Structure 1
């Protein structure tokens, strides 16, 4: 692969992912990710929201890699995500016979942006838990022995 245009986007899932299956049985999941850029206005000394950019995205299953299934089963409308993928230009003819083109992103990797997501209630809490080993992780602090701390 040479000459592809790769992009990394930090945004929000605009609509629930939609999974479909091609005639050959391969799965593809479609979703739209929206980015909301902000710009600092020097005259008002405030940040201003700029118009959002909507990115149509596609995730495919490839062999043992079940990206389309995982996107469909994991992400939902409103999730903050970070994705990396290739910009692809699609060309087609509309009903009037006019050639049309549009860009979409073929997702290589995607995941929730954990800066904004709250852990589910059934996950291990992020609070201090006493350890059985007082000198280990979460136990009583030891004197600095040239390590991390």
Structure 2
């Protein structure tokens, strides 16, 4: 959205992500990322940890379920999202504001780890407005395939053009 403050935070999950569901059935996953910047101290000729930022994060819907299933405490992650300020009142009547990151994208950092990605079919009958291209009808649309075939990681169909057949037609590009 225009005017939103978008940031990227790289750090470690402080606890296992907590998955909950709203009364309407929407999944929400909450977690905290600890990000500690480092600076080089010329006097000691060593790297020194700076003050740690603890960023409270929330992610919604299918992505929330994926996060809860895939990430655990201590995992180094890259989180991108929009800063949101929430105002609330304490039991004592004091007005407070907290800042949290409404996550758009999250993934494990590959700097010190490896990961095996398992693609899920979008939607599973639910609204998939969170990320990904969704055709809106009208125009030229093709029916969705049932998923990528073996050896075709991007789900593209194999071209049926035989380059050695001596055909006079143009190549398929």
Class of the TM-score when normalised by the shorter of the 2 chains: 0.7 to 0.9
SS state of the match for residue 69, structure 2? helix
* Residue pair 2:108, 2:115 contacting (<8 A) in 1 also: no
2:23 paired residue number: 23
For structure 2, the residue ranges without an aligned partner over 5 or more in a row are 117-173
Q: Given the alignment of the two structures, is residue 87 of structure 1 paired with residue 89 of structure 2, yes or no?
A: no
Name which structure has the greater RCO, CA cutoff 8 Å, separation 6+.
1
Deviation track 1:20-44 (CA, whole Å, cap 9, x = no partner) reads 1111111100000000111111211
For structure 1, the residue ranges without an aligned partner over 5 or more in a row are 121-149
- Where do 1:115-126 residues align within 5 Å? 115-118=111-114
Aligned partners of 1:39 and 1:33: how far apart in 2? 20
Q: Report how far residue 51 of structure 1 moved.
A: 2.1
Q: Given the alignment of the two structures, is residue 71 of structure 1 paired with residue 34 of structure 2, yes or no?
A: no
Structure with the bigger percentage of strand: 1
Q: Report how far residue 118 of structure 1 moved.
A: 3.9
Structure 1 residue ranges, 4+ long, deviating more than 3 angstroms after superposition: none
Q: Report how far residue 112 of structure 1 moved.
A: 0.5
Aligned length: 116
CA-atom RMSD in angstroms: 1.2
Deviation track 1:99-127 (CA, whole Å, cap 9, x = no partner) reads 1101000000000001111457xxxxxxx
Q: Report how far residue 53 of structure 1 moved.
A: 0.9
Deviation track 1:71-128 (CA, whole Å, cap 9, x = no partner) reads 11110001011110000001101101111101000000000001111457xxxxxxxx
2:4 paired residue number: 4
* Residue pair 2:36, 2:52 contacting (<8 A) in 1 also: yes
